[in-house]
Chains A and B, each alone.
Chain A
Amino acid sequence: MSLVARHLEENGVPTVVLGSARDVVEECGVARFVFTDFPLGNPCGKPWDTETQRSIVGTALELLERAWMPRTTVQTPFRWGSDEWRDAFMRVDDSNREALAREGEERRRLQAEAKKGNQPRNGKS
């Protein structure tokens, strides 16, 4: 997505990226970025929370007008509520290390089978 934004900017179209994966967007390097520190999935506001959604879109519009240089990141003030998702997402620790290794093996086995049978396979995640 950030690569598409960069291409539009290179060709004269101003852009704003809205997202929750701060490091991924900033490493890629975009002109304007509205960061909301939520779990991945709702970068434009919590489900059914129209006020927050309106505010986040409004911030993006304001950034179009006010940013004067690339890599301008604005963090919105919204909080998810609980912080449990931060550690839980893709967690690796002693409780699941063996299970993850097994999952990986199984996934590779299925992918190898699919390849043999010329079946389409899903993406990385």
Chain B
Amino acid sequence: MNQRRPYRSYVSYIDRSREYYAAQGYSQPYTWAYHEDAPFTPLKKALFDCRVGMVTTAGKMDTEVEKEGRRKTRELYAMAANPAPRRMFTADLFWDKVATHTDDVESFLPLNRLAEYAAGSRIKSVSPRFYGVPTDYSQGRTSLRDAPKILEWCREDGVEAMLLSAL
């Protein structure tokens, strides 16, 4: 349908969160990562011959979370992808808790859907582990600590392509 609008259709979370926190009295707006360039690696072989992994921003459910309903730390982790976890911890992440829910893990970490593509030979296999990078508002920690660790796990598990899903 042809329409005309005086604004963009998709929500700008950069604009929205800046205005929201300013209204809460925070004088220094959060500064988001920006790059002029973007690195690019082409797929090195046919997709049906590749092992594919997944990264999520959700946290794992563990005894600390179950007991206290929150996490004290935002630790990186690698966890078995098969069977896929039925629950993940998302309460402390930034998402729309009014409009939707995260009860279906596949809606943000679709390991079963990916496994179906492996079963259909679209990809060779799913990595035996998936990787968790709970959102950290320190870009320094993400770049210097988290990203190299994910790369290390990726190499250990022979991952040849990665899907990263951000809540």
Contact = CB atoms under 8 A, between A and B. Distances in A.
A65 B45 CA distance: 9
Interface string A7-29: 11111111111110111110111
Contact of A3 (B9, B16, B72, B143): B143
A77 to B, nearest CB: 14
Contact of B160 (A13, A43, A103, A120): A13
Interface in B79-136: 90, 92-104, 106-110, 113-114, 116-117, 122-123, 133, 135-136
Nearest to A62: B47
Interface in A1-60: 1-19, 21-25, 27-31, 35, 37-50, 53-54, 56-58, 60
A90 B52 contact: no
Greatest chain A CB density within 10 A among B12, B30, B96, B107 is at B107
A107 B150 CA distance: 33
Determine chain B's interface SS by DSSP, over half rule: loop
Q: How big is chain B's contact interface, by range?
A: 35 or more
A27 B32 contact: yes
A7 B150 contact: yes
Interface in B6-56: 9-17, 19-21, 23-26, 30, 32-44, 47, 50, 52, 55
Contacts, number: 253
Contacts of B93: 125
B35 A85 contact: no
Contacts of A1: 55, 57, 133, 135, 164-166
Given A8-B150, A64-B47, A57 B166 contact: no
Interface of B: 9-17, 19-21, 23-26, 30, 32-44, 47, 50, 52, 55, 57, 70, 72-74, 90, 92-104, 106-110, 113-114, 116-117, 122-123, 133, 135-137, 139, 142-143, 146-148, 150-151, 154, 159-167
Given A47-B104, A56-B110, A60-B163, 12 more contacts: A3-B146, A29-B34, A39-B100, A41-B167, A43-B165, A45-B106, A46-B107, A61-B123, A86-B11, A90-B17, A101-B23, A122-B92
17 contacts: A1-B57, A1-B166, A2-B164, A3-B139, A7-B147, A8-B154, A14-B44, A31-B40, A37-B9, A64-B161, A68-B42, A69-B40, A70-B38, A101-B25, A104-B23, A120-B72, A123-B137
Interface of A: 1-19, 21-25, 27-31, 35, 37-50, 53-54, 56-58, 60-61, 64-65, 67-71, 80, 84-86, 88-90, 92, 97, 100-101, 103-105, 107-108, 120, 122-125
